[in-house]
Amino acid sequence: MTVAAINTEGLKKNFGERAAVKHLTLQVLQGEVFGFLGPNGAGKTTSIKMLLGLVRPTSGTASLLGAPIGHRPTLARVGFLPEHFRFQEWLTAREFLTLHGELFGMQARDLKSRAEELLERVGLSDFRDKQLRTFSKGMLQRIGLAQALLNRPALVFLDEPTSGLDPVGRRLVRDIIHELREAGTCVFLNSHLLSEIEVTCDRVAFIRHGEVVRTLELAALDQDLSLVTIRAAGLTPEILSGLERWGGNIQAEGERLTLTVQRETDLPEINRYLVTQGVEVFAMTPNRLSLEEIFIETIGKDGGL
């Protein structure tokens, strides 16, 4: 059995009275692209900081690549792009990568070629000798990403990697994440952009008040979950409550009824049930749920406040 890339057990962090992360229990597999979703203030960044040893957990345990958090040699195999990245802006792009590569403990020759390769990959080759103070936010994000990948990590944390980027830059990040997956790197992605998550991640966890409320395989999104819109006459509250055995989120407005169902195969049964209850069914349309709809459904419209 391979060790998990990330394993946490009841991880908790209090800042004074306030619990930033309540009880985080999570497992992320090696080679997986994992999305970490939740509303603002759900404890996503604090969770990442605990995993990387920046913040000391109040209680609970966690491991990265099989080693307890804070284990230094393991950090040589981990990359990190922080959310509010600020870098040594007095360094040039190449000096910046050299510094971080040295801190990773990389050998000079390897570091030199790796830095060139990454500058090329993130499209900053022409700016290699420019100081970071002259960089735009998007360029800083790119060089930050290069920094996170210098050591060819087995596990990389990207906290809002596309926040400063234009569509071209976002595309670049998406492509890089695909390449990382191909290479067997585990990517832990924290992003607000659900459309990004949807196209890049294998699996996501929804976090609310510092707890995982749901994990989801995105590949299963297509078949397993759908929102069904039914147009029918003669719906009564009793009939509606009878629908609860197949799905949730039942909402009826006049002749329009929507509900979410777990399996597509439930649809004929629902139809049969409605007909036997004397309901006239005009139309039944299954829609694939978008990640955003699942997000709202899971977290709630209040954003978990």
Partner 1 sequence: MKSTWILARMTFREAVRRHIVLTGLVLGVCFLVIFSVGFHFIYANMSQPNPRVPAAAQLIGLAEGINFLTLAGLYAVTFLSVAMGALLGADTLAGEINSGTIQTIVTKPIRRTDVVLGKWLGFALLLALYSLLMSGGTILSVLIQTGHSPPHILSGLALIYFESILIMTISLAFSSGLSGLATGGVVFGLYGLAFIGGWIEQIGSLLQNQTAVKVGIVASLIIPSESLWRRAAYEMQTPLSGALGMSPFGTTSVPSNLMLVYSVIYLVVALALAVNTFRRRDL
The residues binding partner 1 (CB under 8 A) are: 49, 52-56, 72-76, 78, 80, 82, 84-88, 90-91, 99-100, 102-105, 131, 144, 147
User: Edge-to-edge, what's the strand order for the sheet holding 6-15?
Assistant: 67-68, 59-64, 6-15, 18-28, 211-217, 203-208, 33-37, 186-190, 155-159, 78-81
Instruction: Please say which residue, 17 or 302, places its beta carbon nearer to partner 1.
Output: 17
Nearest-Å Rg of the Cα atoms of the chain is: 23
159 forms beta bridges with: 190
In whole angstroms, what is the distance from residue 21 CA to residue 271 CA? 43
Instruction: Please say which residue, 101 or 247, places its beta carbon nearer to partner 1.
Output: 101
Q: At 196, give phi and psi (nearest 5°).
A: -65, -50
Instruction: Please say which residue, 132 or 274, places its beta carbon nearer to partner 1.
Output: 132
8 A C-beta contact, residue 45 and residue 38: no
Instruction: Please say which residue, 115 or 194, places its beta carbon nearer to partner 1.
Output: 115
